Amino acid sequence: MLGAGAIGCLFASYLQRAGCTVTLLHRPGTPERTLRLELADTTTTLQLQQATVADCAPIEHLLITTKAYDVREALRSAQQKLQPDAPVVILANGMGLQEEAREDFPTLPVYCATTTQGAHRVDAGRIRHAGKGATFVGGAGTVLPPPWFAPWKMGVEDCHWDADIDSALWHKLAINCAINPLTAVHGCVNGELAEQPGLAAQVAGLCREISQVSYAAGYTATAQRIAQTAMDVIRATASNQSSMLQDVEAGRQTEINYITGYLLKVADAHGIPAPMNAALYAKVNSLGN
């Protein structure tokens, strides 16, 4: 696997528990790490085998859990050891990643995953599982779960093969478009988007645009539900800092190009104006990350 963030480590532990041999691929010179994983009922020590791409065995299955903007480079970095038919699963925010991977590696079977599992890093060596959620995996035109999915099904709670993963990814993208950029620009926790009337009106405006783009792109279920779903997620995650706000506060690059940037590309392709989303896109980009 590539990407040792909180979600990546959580999935590494699930897959290891299901009997997979998981190796965390890291850059040369990175110190070996032992991670303490705080699950709801137990604290376990996650002993991950670690290696550089140069030192690792041939890669038969690659899980990428980096930030969206690092996925392309991560995949390229693994190229020398990647077996020609190795399934690659990208578990990252946003959309457009599968297309980029296909541009670089047209014959590689690339799949995507999306999850509502919550996990965060408490400190350098500790990861806390913050909330249970569902995970959907699919792609590469594969309708039925392929054999490599068996340990996912076994080890990851509430994990499903999704023959229409693009709809699931779009639905998550729509929610992220309605919440993340606004919280990043206003420096507020998710809940304030419901509590402050001015911000709630902006969420409603963004959702109207997102709904129109969703209809045009054929994502009807999202189009019909996004306004209600966005508010439900805002209330359910009221005390959370969105991942984009966390990125801004940590001085990291944001994933805006793969979230609102992707929505705007789809809007443009269908000739649908999305001025509120476009304005927020420009604002987040001007935050300097």
Q: Which residues would be at the binding site for ligand KPL (CB under 6 A)?
A: 93, 175-176, 179-180, 190, 233, 237, 240, 242-243
- Within the chain, where are the H helices? 6-17, 71-78, 97-104, 150-155, 165-186, 192-195, 197-217, 220-236, 243-249, 260-269, 275-286
Least Cβ distance, residue 180 to ligand KPL (angstroms): 5
Toward ligand KPL, which CB reaches closer, 216 or 227? Answer: 227
Least Cβ distance, residue 154 to ligand KPL (angstroms): 26
Least Cβ distance, residue 253 to ligand KPL (angstroms): 14
The tokens describing 54, both together, are: 């140069």
Toward ligand KPL, which CB reaches closer, 50 or 260? Answer: 260
Examine the residue annotation and report whether 67 is marked as an active-site residue of this protein. Answer: no
- Please give the Cα distance from 197 to 203 (Å, whole number): 10
Cα dihedral 192/158/4/85 (nearest 10): -130
Which residues, 6+ apart, have CB-to-CB distance to 230 below 8 Å? 174, 175, 178, 179, 203, 206, 207
Catalytic residue among 153, 172, 265, 283: 172
Toward ligand KPL, which CB reaches closer, 86 or 238? Answer: 238
Least Cβ distance, residue 244 to ligand KPL (angstroms): 6
Least Cβ distance, residue 144 to ligand KPL (angstroms): 28
Order the strands of the 43-46 sheet from edge to edge: 43-46, 35-38, 126-131, 118-123
- Sign, CA dihedral 127-252-133-228, equals positive
Look at phi and psi of residue 261 and say left if phi exceeds 0, alpha if psi is from -120 to 50, else beta.
Answer: alpha
- Please give the Cα distance from 289 to 11 (Å, whole number): 28
- Catalytically active residues, by annotation: 172
